[in-house]
Chains A and B, each alone.
Chain A
Amino acid sequence: MSGEIEYGVVSFCPDLTDPAARSMPVAVIGLLEGKSSENGEGDGKIFMITRADAENLLPIEDDPLARAILNDLPDFLGEQVREGLRIAGSSGLISWIEHSLRNSLHISNIQCSDVDMAVDDHIEFMNRMAETISEVFDEEMPEDPFADGLGSRTPQTGVPNMQLWDPASLENKGSARSGVPH
């Protein structure tokens, strides 16, 4: 089975007026698809994984609104994903979100690549998918993005939140939630 992953990294910028300010990645939203080489049938999922410690890592003590949004990031971004799926479908989701998140919360990076999804059945596909998403999260979310002296704070704590959507059933408001070991 061949596979492809496209994802966007959602980051938070603490000061949009500062030309040198650095953003911190707080979530990854993406589409992971696998296709059988035999009949071309495939399976795919929209995924979103958010870090649990963003509220503690960022200098936002004096901003209760930003704290509340980051504390509630899975629901906040999940709503964006559902609206994006309704409007743009799975193929246009990442671009739609990129154009919606243009300020303090924004897409800082988009990646698209082939992934190895050589598996025999659906269960293996799901396991391989979870591994791939976890690898992406580890790669894109540094333990402490401000660890170079620009405000190192509390180390990463808590379990990242992962949500999955079946792109073929946009009306399905339910989502599978699970903790991903980190």
Chain B
Amino acid sequence: MTADQPAPELVTDLNHQNGVISDEWRQEVEIPSQNWRRADNQAGSNFDYLEGEAGGFFASVEVAGFERRAYLKPGKSRENQHRLNIAQQKARAACEKIASDLAYELGLPVPPAVLSQRSDPQDQWCEEEVVLSLVMYPRQWSWAQVKGLHGGGGEASPKDAALEKAFAECTPMLAFDTWIGQRDHEYTRHNIVWGYEPGNLKRSRLVFLDFAYSLGSSGGEDFDGEWDEGGWQPVEAAGFPSLIEDCIDRDELEMAIARIEDLPEREIRTIVDRIPTNFLPPWRAENIKEGLLGRREELRSSLSGILSN
């Protein structure tokens, strides 16, 4: 850098940093495997990282000049070719990326995500196609703990005020989860987290994680192609934890539905079509596009009961 060149802007505000990374990963589809490595800090991963339905671990990833922590999945060996084939049909990584990109367009609290290839799968039955989801906040509390933190019968505290604001801001996610057929947020212990920057509790947010069971993929042992041949119907309101449901704002819900309805069809198609075929088989890409476009036509009527309450 010469003397007359301006110094690069020093970005210290976490929200701004998150915004820069969100913009970059919305543009990117896939990053090289050299851009990440397994992180020293594995706080919050399963003790045995191969446990869980998908398996995964935390990675250290360099993005936009920052070294940040992201959750990488799936990481689990599928044990044989048959199970690996099923896993590839489920296309967990692609579903996460599509959900994240759609959420970005709608300004929703879903972490930015980017695809990558594993160069170090543990065995031949491990998916090489993975997704990295950014860890958004230095402090995060799992939903299982948030439930216990709320209220308590005493005077309203700054914590309760922050939480209730965070609950109220979740209304648009009900429309989003309903649209994309997400069913893994109702009885969750850790797929919703409450995150914030220390010293800035007022700007806390609930962040919604894990979209592997959405877009026509279920959690069963087999891939049942739920969105095949019009199987995306019927469109039913997504389940939400009751604490959040109690804070649903009808006007906010109405606006969220309108934003989804206003998303250009071309944008939706592009978000799906740009996923490489090794991450998402073409027939599934077609099903997902058909499902997304069909379901949004019925989104308003599927939520009419809540809108009219």
Contacting B136 at CB < 8 Å: which of A17, A76, A79?
Answer: A17
B158 CB contacts on chain A under 8 angstroms: 64
Instruction: Report B187 CB to chain A, min CB distance, Å.
Output: 11
Contacting A63 at CB < 8 Å: which of B68, B139, B144, B149?
Answer: B139
In the complex, the answer to whether A23 meets B43 with C-beta atoms within 8 Å is yes
A109 to B46, CA, bound (A): 10
In the complex, the answer to whether B137 meets A16 with C-beta atoms within 8 Å is yes
In the complex, the answer to whether A19 meets B190 with C-beta atoms within 8 Å is no
Instruction: Report A49 CB to chain B, min CB distance, Å.
Output: 19
A98 CB contacts on chain B under 8 angstroms: 46-47
A102 CB contacts on chain B under 8 angstroms: 44-45, 142, 189-190, 193
A63 CB contacts on chain B under 8 angstroms: 139, 198-199, 201
Instruction: Report A112 CB to chain B, min CB distance, Å.
Output: 11
Contacting B44 at CB < 8 Å: which of A22, A68, A79, A103?
Answer: A103
Q: Kindly state whether residue A14 has any CB partner on chain B within 8 Å.
A: yes
- Identity of the chain A residue whose Cβ is nearest the Cβ of B204 in the assembled complex: A65
Chain B 118-137 against A: per-residue CB contact (8 Å), 1 yes, 0 no?
Answer: 00000000000000000111
B196 CB contacts on chain A under 8 angstroms: 65
Query: Interface on chain B toward A: helix, strand, loop, or mixed SS?
Result: mixed
In the complex, the answer to whether A16 meets B135 with C-beta atoms within 8 Å is yes
Chain B 3-28 against A: per-residue CB contact (8 Å), 1 yes, 0 no?
Answer: 00000000000100000000000000
Chain B 52-91 against A: per-residue CB contact (8 Å), 1 yes, 0 no?
Answer: 0000001111000001110000000000000000000000
A121 to B253, CA, bound (A): 64
In the complex, the answer to whether A11 meets B43 with C-beta atoms within 8 Å is yes
Q: Kindly state whether residue B41 has any CB partner on chain A within 8 Å.
A: yes
Q: Kindly state whether residue A138 has any CB partner on chain B within 8 Å.
A: no
Chain A 80-114 against B: per-residue CB contact (8 Å), 1 yes, 0 no?
Answer: 10000000000000000011111111111110000
In the complex, the answer to whether B148 meets A109 with C-beta atoms within 8 Å is no
In the complex, the answer to whether B142 meets A13 with C-beta atoms within 8 Å is no
A63 to B137, CA, bound (A): 13
Q: Kindly state whether residue A148 has any CB partner on chain B within 8 Å.
A: no
Q: Kindly state whether residue A176 has any CB partner on chain B within 8 Å.
A: no
B135 CB contacts on chain A under 8 angstroms: 16-17
| Given A65-B159, A99-B190, A102-B190, A16-B43 contact (CB < 8 Å) | yes
| Given A14-B138, A17-B137, A19-B67, A100-B47 contact (CB < 8 Å) | no
In the complex, the answer to whether A100 meets B69 with C-beta atoms within 8 Å is no
Chain A 44-68 against B: per-residue CB contact (8 Å), 1 yes, 0 no?
Answer: 0000000000000000101111101
Q: Kindly state whether residue A18 has any CB partner on chain B within 8 Å.
A: yes
Q: Kindly state whether residue A15 has any CB partner on chain B within 8 Å.
A: yes
Q: Kindly state whether residue B145 has any CB partner on chain A within 8 Å.
A: yes
A64 CB contacts on chain B under 8 angstroms: 158-159, 201
Contacting A18 at CB < 8 Å: which of B59, B61, B69?
Answer: B69
In the complex, the answer to whether B44 meets A100 with C-beta atoms within 8 Å is no
Contacting B139 at CB < 8 Å: which of A19, A66, A99?
Answer: A66
Taking CB atoms and an 8 Å cut-off, the chain A residues in 101-148 that contact chain B are 101-110
Q: Kindly state whether residue B117 has any CB partner on chain A within 8 Å.
A: no
Q: Kindly state whether residue B221 has any CB partner on chain A within 8 Å.
A: no
Instruction: Report A46 CB to chain B, min CB distance, Å.
Output: 18
In the complex, the answer to whether B141 meets A105 with C-beta atoms within 8 Å is yes
Residue from B14, B44, B135, B137 with most neighbouring chain A CB atoms (10 Å): B44
- Identity of the chain A residue whose Cβ is nearest the Cβ of B159 in the assembled complex: A65
A80 to B147, CA, bound (A): 11
Residue from B41, B190, B201 with most neighbouring chain A CB atoms (10 Å): B41
Instruction: Report B246 CB to chain A, min CB distance, Å.
Output: 21
B59 CB contacts on chain A under 8 angstroms: 19
In the complex, the answer to whether B198 meets A62 with C-beta atoms within 8 Å is yes
- 14 pairs of residues in contact across A and B, judged by CB atoms under 8 Å: A14-B138, A16-B137, A17-B69, A19-B39, A23-B43, A60-B198, A63-B139, A65-B196, A66-B139, A101-B142, A103-B193, A104-B139, A107-B47, A110-B47
